[in-house]
Amino acid sequence: AKLCNKDEVTNQCDFRSTVVLDEDIPCDGECNADRSRWRISMPCECSIDEPRTVRIDHSPNLAPVWYEYVRQPCIQLAFPEDGHMKTVREIGENTDYGNKAMCADTRLPVAGTACCDKNGQNPIHICVFKGDRVSYSTSEERCAAYGGTTCAWSTVPINGGCGTDTAYNQGSYSEDSSPGLRFLWSSQPCSMSVQISPDGNVAIIHKAGTINVKERVAIDTGTYFGVLWGGDGSYPTVSSSNCGSCEVHESTCVCPAIAVTSAVFDGSQGMPTMNELVSQLHIGAPDPNSFDGTYSLCTAPMCLNNADYNVFSTTAVSNDASIADAFDDQTIFEVNGLFLSNTASIVDIGDGYTFRNPPMYNSPIDQTQRDALYETDAILQHYVDHPNTAPFISTKLIQHLVTSNPSPRYVKVVADAFRTGTYTSGGYTFGKGNYGDMEACVAAILLDREARSSTLDDDAISGRAREPLLKVMHMMRSMELSTESGAKREVDMIYLTSRGLGQESFNAPSVFSFFLSEYQPVGPALNKGVVAPETQLFDAPKLISFMNGLFSLPAFGLTDCQWWQGFGSDRARYWITDYPDGGYFDCGSAETEQPGVPLRLRWKPPSWGGETNVNNAPPSQIIDEVDLLLTGGRLHPSNKAIMEQVYNSANSGINPDSKSLKAVISHFAATPEFHITNNLMNSRVTTTATRPTPDISTPPNPAPVTDYRAIVYLYMDGAMDSYSALVPMNCYLNQQYVSVRGDIAIKSGLLPIDASTSDQPCDDFGLHPSLSNIHSLYNDGDASFIANVGPLIKTMDKYEFEAGSKPQPMALFAHNTQTQITQTVFAQDASAGGVLGRIGDSINNREGSDVFDAYSISGTPKVLEGAPSVSKPADVLSGSGVADFIPKAGTFEANIEALSENVVTSIYGETFSVSMTNAIYRTRLLDEVIGNVTLDEDSCFTNAGTDLADQFEQVARIIKSRDGLEAKRDVFYVSIGGFDTHSDNGPVLTNLLSQIDDSISCFASEMKSQGVWSNVTVISASEFGRTLTSNGLGTDHAWGGNHFIAGGSVAGGRIHGQYPDDITDDGILNIGRGRLIPTTPWEGVWKGISEWFGVEIQNMGSVLPNLSNFASNIFDAADLFQSSLFR
């Protein structure tokens, strides 16, 4: 009846796709297992250990309906106790796929039944239904009933009637066959061991005498995982104890594993406390009510007086005198809705070493998708329930909704609401009391005093900067973007990133979104030690693109008018149902407000009294109404005065009121107030200071720059698999490479290079087949490689790493932190300035004037950050060149500049104003100097057709303009992403390296044409290397990597540093999975480059604070460059 769900009208079953039973369904009938199912008298539901499918015969005229039985989540322990293990044998005679053994827990229904006669001969397979899995005791009972016994170890023929062919009627058994019954019980004893890696991870090893075991539980082919070691956390290693009494196997220890399970609480000390339960019970249990009366709730006064948890035992306990009877290894505690078993299970491997017996959902014998999903759900639930989750999510939500720098109190209030699922304010309670309730969490965020206090609006660090997409949507909604008839139309907000906005739905550049939550812009935010994440998008191309879009929107509507600078697409210029004749409107007609523009801003100030200013409302009133909608009434008086001038100046000619309103709306997009959420100026500050005007004058006939130097920093974002870029050849190390790298090893097509003069473990190396141009540069003496370089604080080997005896860089293997550390070259302080910025500061201090310029052609990287009082901010360009205002915005450039001319108290407002001012002035300068520059290799860059080639082209244009810019020292940042190749075993990397190779080739040719190739050094970098071992699809995060430097003065044709001489697990640098500790710190490379660039040796400590920590692999300019060219 439960499964049928009979329809009362039709009297037919109304089968549902999923049925959740609220009670057990009684089984029907018993029978003995047989070799042929058709010889079994049905029904015999009570003779199986666990159902897999249920057939419903609901009508004599209709086909039966089948349900799959989906067992509730249930864990098992990885190591059964002694006496609970037998060998199961894989079905099949093919030794590649079948005929192998595993150890199974005899209590679990994971294998089928093979019976032999009393003499242990004539094996047959018996079952009740196809694919029947039973426990070992059931298997014994079935064999006894059949007149035999379980088999010791004999080949069991495949029997289709019992489902032992996993690809039934589809050919022979293979690893790729469809799922089915894979193993049969045997009486063969077995045991388990563990293989312990040098870093303390373990792999499960099964042993069944001399019988071959499955690869997943065999020595050297098992899967390693972390365990919780007992005592002080120590474990046997080859290096520390020669594995003690365990077996030494290469760099690992193989130890016998004995599982011991016992009760944690025995009642002798009375009732355990809540803290004792939570801290000592680590094994879950089923709901005791599911055992059909087996368990009783303890009703003794000691139990009833305890309100924190309930105790369920197999012995009924109603008085305190018998309280000890409530505690044994079968006891279940209910704690906050969770059920915990009163057991602890440890694995003893001898010599006093133990670890907690790991729980698992999926049986190593009978693996199912169902249990894999349960395990995935469990680990996700573990992350959700982690104590850090609530404050982490709360902080992120507060940062996005209210303020970038919430107080600890604020975070705690919101985190408490997240945990408890309720929040009360003003007599109202929000949320339903569930963990993670978003209603409670958001209410706590928006109703807290830090979100609502007007006093805090004056605080410099309260509030936040606003992200671009929200500002665009705010403008559209507040100013009523709509059709003339009111007909609904989908807004096409695509390609915003390529238009320079810096943000677009569903198109984040990385897992860290569009900006880093820990970003600290140079200026007041960095000085105060606070963050301003959204200001990472306040670079010149993005700010100017934003202004262009917001000046286009009021004038033309949501279109692509004025060189694709609007936020709409060309499709937005098609008429819609307002005008059934259809058509395509002209941008000129849109500007003059002729009908036909589908989507335009249609808001009119209430003070107008109509479509025009029929009430003659004064400009101040109109601006106040716009101000209320766009900045919440926070427009500073000085900027309001500018707005009144804008309104009055535009109020003439045809449609004067509309022209004035459009001008004001556009200008609001340029006010700092529109880009932030706190007050621009503290209300108690009555005077304002004007920001100094940047000097962008250039001499009419500049003298040629002498002693010019430039560094181009090529950043490969995502962690480049650099051990596919530089590969050992023709020596023992190549054999290791092929073995360790497996499916990602490059075995053919490598481009050979000579390293015989480089003191490396091999004389021959090969470059990735995609690096043909860099290969030529190396052979021509214009490029060299740095082997196994990465962030370090002190040199170390894997034993020092494992012991933690030396300081390590923060958050190893984390993209965001390692990006910061790689670019700061200060591994213990990710918040430090960038290494190129510090180099520039040193140069400017030495010269006593500003001779250093920094340029980014890709965002706002950490590497260019210097001291604000020493070096000017980096100029940010795009691959398209200098960002410029469209005519509609350019007409008002002076007004845009004036809106940001005052020094303000808000750190977000000041950051915007400084960024906007610098963008305007530096754009004027760069546009004047490099706007019309042509290159000899323009066609090369164009034919390359990649964003990276465009970036290098802009670098080349600036270098060619060095005389006009009066530049003596330039640094450039270019980047290419996509290197986080967890799911790529080659093709993605090949494409990315091809882009790099083509770009470097065009750039080197252009520099040679300009005669400055010897004045330029290109250096590659990435946040870390990738694992030497494959994850099956690609590679994962590692540490050391290989990089190159190139230039006309580079001492090329060499590999600097030390390529590891052993990349196996036994290698002194391998900390697991082919993650190699760097042999060369980044300081070693930057010392030589800094010297070449002009940093004096006495100032090297300020540029490279950790330099004195290293005694080897530190390169002088004479090591990296040709001595005749670097001085």
SS3 letters across 17-82: CCCCCCCCCCCCCCCCCECCHHHCCCCCHHHCCCCCEEEECCCCCCCCEEEECCCCCCCEECCCEC
- Tokens found for residue 752: 């050979």
Q: What is the mean pLDDT of the chain?
A: 89
HSE-up of residue 462 (Cα within 13 Å, Cβ side): 17
SS3 529: coil
Neighbour-count burial for 161-183, b at 16+ CB within 10 Å, e otherwise: bbbbbbeeeeeebeeebeeebbb
Q: Give the end-to-end CA distance of the chain in Å, rounded to a whole number.
A: 92
What integer pLDDT is reported at residue 168 of this predicted model? 36
Q: Provide the 10 A C-beta neighbour count for residue 21.
A: 9
- For 598-613, the pLDDT digits (tens) are 788 999 999 999 999 9
pLDDT average, residue stretch 992-1001: 98
- Tokens found for residue 798: 């894997």
pLDDT at 965 over 80: yes
Question: Distance of alpha carbon 771 from its chain centroid, rounded?
Answer: 28
Band (895; pLDDT cuts 50, 70, 90) = very high
Residue 273 · residue 265 · CB < 8 Å: no
What integer pLDDT is reported at residue 98 of this predicted model? 64
Q: What are the Cα distances from residue 1011, in Å, to 57, 426, 741, 1057?
A: 88, 73, 42, 30
Q: What are the Cα distances from residue 739, in Å, to 743, 830, 985, 1027?
A: 9, 36, 15, 13
Q: What are the Cα distances from residue 430, in Å, to 266, 417, 425, 440, 910?
A: 43, 9, 8, 5, 37
Band (513; pLDDT cuts 50, 70, 90) = confident
Residue 722 · residue 1008 · CB < 8 Å: no
Those residues whose C-beta lies under 8 Å from the C-beta of residue 1127, and which sit 6 or more positions away, are none
CA-CA distance, 198 to 1065, in Å (whole number)?
9
Band (1125; pLDDT cuts 50, 70, 90) = low
Determine if residue 370 is left, alpha or beta; phi over 0 gives left, psi from -120 to 50 gives alpha, anything else beta: alpha
Band (947; pLDDT cuts 50, 70, 90) = very high
Residue 743 · residue 1042 · CB < 8 Å: no
Partners of 1081 in beta bridges: 790
Residue 844 · residue 861 · CB < 8 Å: no
Those residues whose C-beta lies under 8 Å from the C-beta of residue 206, and which sit 6 or more positions away, are 101, 102, 103, 190, 191, 192, 213, 214, 217, 218
Partners of 85 in beta bridges: 105
CA-CA distance, 496 to 505, in Å (whole number)?
9
Residue 981 · residue 1035 · CB < 8 Å: yes
- Higher pLDDT residue, 98 or 538? 538
Of 1082, 1045, 1021, the C-alpha closest to 795 is 1082
What integer pLDDT is reported at residue 782 of this predicted model? 97
Residue 1055 · residue 755 · CB < 8 Å: yes
pLDDT average, residue stretch 858-876: 82
Neighbour-count burial for 1085-1117, b at 16+ CB within 10 Å, e otherwise: bbbbbbbbbbbeeebbeebbbbbebbeebbbeb
Q: What is the DSSP letter of 355?
A: E
What integer pLDDT is reported at residue 581 of this predicted model? 45
CA-CA distance, 386 to 925, in Å (whole number)?
53
SS3 583: coil
Residue 1069 · residue 1060 · CB < 8 Å: yes
pLDDT at 920 over 60: yes
Q: What are the Cα distances from residue 162, in Å, to 117, 362, 516, 731, 916?
A: 19, 23, 58, 54, 76
What integer pLDDT is reported at residue 173 of this predicted model? 43
pLDDT average, residue stretch 1098-1108: 94
User: To 10 degrees, what angle do helices 389-401 and 438-447 make?
Assistant: 50
What integer pLDDT is reported at residue 36 of this predicted model? 72
Residue 347 · residue 354 · CB < 8 Å: yes
CA-CA distance, 1104 to 1090, in Å (whole number)?
10
Where is average pLDDT lowest: 176-180, 289-293, 960-964, 973-977?
176-180
pLDDT average, residue stretch 450-466: 95
What integer pLDDT is reported at residue 257 of this predicted model? 97
What integer pLDDT is reported at residue 869 of this predicted model? 64
Of 258, 108, 247, 246, the C-alpha closest to 192 is 258
Residue 1013 · residue 752 · CB < 8 Å: no
Residue 659 · residue 651 · CB < 8 Å: yes
Those residues whose C-beta lies under 8 Å from the C-beta of residue 316, and which sit 6 or more positions away, are 296
pLDDT at 169 over 50: no
CA-CA distance, 360 to 216, in Å (whole number)?
15
- Tokens found for residue 553: 């929107």
Those residues whose C-beta lies under 8 Å from the C-beta of residue 1074, and which sit 6 or more positions away, are 740, 741, 1027, 1028, 1029, 1038, 1063
CA-CA distance, 409 to 403, in Å (whole number)?
13
pLDDT average, residue stretch 475-486: 89
- Higher pLDDT residue, 283 or 1000? 1000
- For 801-842, the pLDDT digits (tens) are 988 899 999 989 999 889 999 999 998 876 688 999 999 999
Residue 127 · residue 218 · CB < 8 Å: no
Q: Which residue has the tokens 């008085």?
A: 319
Q: What are the Cα distances from residue 356, in Å, to 102, 207, 306, 321, 467?
A: 22, 21, 29, 33, 47
- Higher pLDDT residue, 84 or 174? 84
Phi and psi at residue 90, in whole multiples of 5°?
A: -70, 135
- For 1069-1082, the pLDDT digits (tens) are 999 889 999 999 99
The sign of the CA dihedral 384, 387, 390, 391 is: negative
CA-CA distance, 351 to 237, in Å (whole number)?
12
- Tokens found for residue 988: 């993605």
Residue 970 · residue 1012 · CB < 8 Å: no
pLDDT at 488 over 60: yes
pLDDT at 730 over 90: yes
CA-CA distance, 431 to 440, in Å (whole number)?
4
Phi and psi at residue 856, in whole multiples of 5°?
A: -115, 130
User: To 10 degrees, what angle do helices 947-960 and 987-1010 make?
Assistant: 20
Of 104, 81, 102, the C-alpha closest to 90 is 102
| pTM, to two decimals | 0.77
Q: Which residue has the tokens 């209210």?
A: 402
Of 923, 1030, 930, 926, the C-alpha closest to 984 is 1030
Q: Provide the 10 A C-beta neighbour count for residue 438.
A: 15
Instruction: With residue 991 as reference, give the H or E element that holds it.
Output: helix 987-1010
Q: Provide the 10 A C-beta neighbour count for residue 101.
A: 23
pLDDT average, residue stretch 145-149: 90
